[in-house]
Amino acid sequence: MMGFNFRSAWAIYTRELMRAMRTAMQSILAPVLTTSLYFIVFGSAIGSQMPDLGGVSYGAFIVPGLLLLTLLSESTSNASFGIYMPRFTGTIYELLSAPVGVAETLVGFVGAAATKSLILATIILGTATLFVDYTIAHPLLAIGFIMLVAASFSLFGFILGVWADSFEKLGIIPQLFLLPLTFLGGTFYSIEMLPEPWRSLALFNPIVYLVNGLRWTFYEVSDINIWVSFGITMSFLALCVTIIAFIFKTGWRLRA
């Protein structure tokens, strides 16, 4: 049985990472500037008029949500674009005919997308210190949760990039579903502030569990049990891995 080919995985990984670095203005600077505007508007302007939530100032309260907002969008878009372009140009057939396994392909494409998201997360956390005072109660859990979310949505983006057969479809899921769900998932508020039945309906939004899981690692404040949040995130990761295994086993959208 052929073992893991580190050279192949590294070649794909570095190629994808360098592609992202070549468009640093769009792929790194733009999300940081956008997040900074959120901090200015919501953290400083509106936050000064808001009461503390769970003993945490409003400006600090929204830091995990804004971080997750960037993680989800950037992980998904980078991974989807990374695999879509080889399909669009036809170079995917060279990859499929090469002695490169599924594991190497995933480590290369998904690893590069997740790495870029983690770089952005680090920059955003550093930028946040310029606008608000925040602390991280459980830094190791926070790092682990951020890495888990980045990996999960990079896998999801990979699936999206395989599914899409046009640039228009590439943006449908992030713009029409993922972004609205993120804004409705407690990014800027606690779902406990919602009246019924909206509070109960919010529990059907999976992003609520991600936002609250990350928020707990920062402040030990959450509307959802932390282990439920971890469990749902792990389940989503497992689901994405299962779908990708099916894609490579059947060649769906790859060999068509």
- Residue-wise pLDDT for 66-96, tens only, equals 999 989 998 999 899 989 988 888 888 878 7
Phi, psi of 53 (to 5 degrees): -115, 110
Range in 32-46, 56-70, 126-140 the model is least confident about: 32-46
Give the pLDDT mean for 34-39: 84
Give the pLDDT mean for 234-241: 95
Q: Is the pLDDT of residue 17 over 60?
A: yes
* Residue-level pLDDT at 32: 82
Q: Is the pLDDT of residue 45 over 80?
A: no
Two structure tokens written together for 63 = 């830091």
Which residues face 53 on adjacent strands?
Answer: 56
pTM exceeding 0.85: yes
Two structure tokens written together for 147 = 């890495």
Q: How far apart are CA 29 and CA 27, in angstroms?
A: 6
Give the pLDDT band (50/70/90) at residue 2: low
* Residue-level pLDDT at 25: 67
Which residues fall within 8 angstroms of residue 14, CB to CB, at 6 or more apart? 112
* Residue-level pLDDT at 136: 95
* Residue-level pLDDT at 221: 92
Better pLDDT: 30 or 138 = 138
**Mean pLDDT over the full length of the chain:** 88
* Residue-level pLDDT at 213: 95
Q: Is the pLDDT of residue 37 over 50?
A: yes
Which pLDDT tens digit goes with each residue over 131-155?
Answer: 888 999 999 999 999 999 999 999 9
Scored b (16 or more CB within 10 A) or e, 116-130 reads: bbbbbbebbbeebee
Give the pLDDT mean for 202-225: 94
DSSP designation for 195: P
* Residue-level pLDDT at 228: 94
* Residue-level pLDDT at 167: 85
Q: Is the pLDDT of residue 1 over 50?
A: no
* Residue-level pLDDT at 147: 95
Long-range contacts of 187-192, Cβ-Cβ distance < 8 Å, separation of 24 or more: 187/62, 187/65, 187/66, 187/68, 187/69, 187/211, 188/42, 188/62, 188/65, 189/53, 190/53, 190/54, 190/61, 190/223, 191/223, 192/223
Give the pLDDT band (50/70/90) at residue 31: confident
Which one, of 15, 242, 243, lies nearest residue 109 by Cα?
15
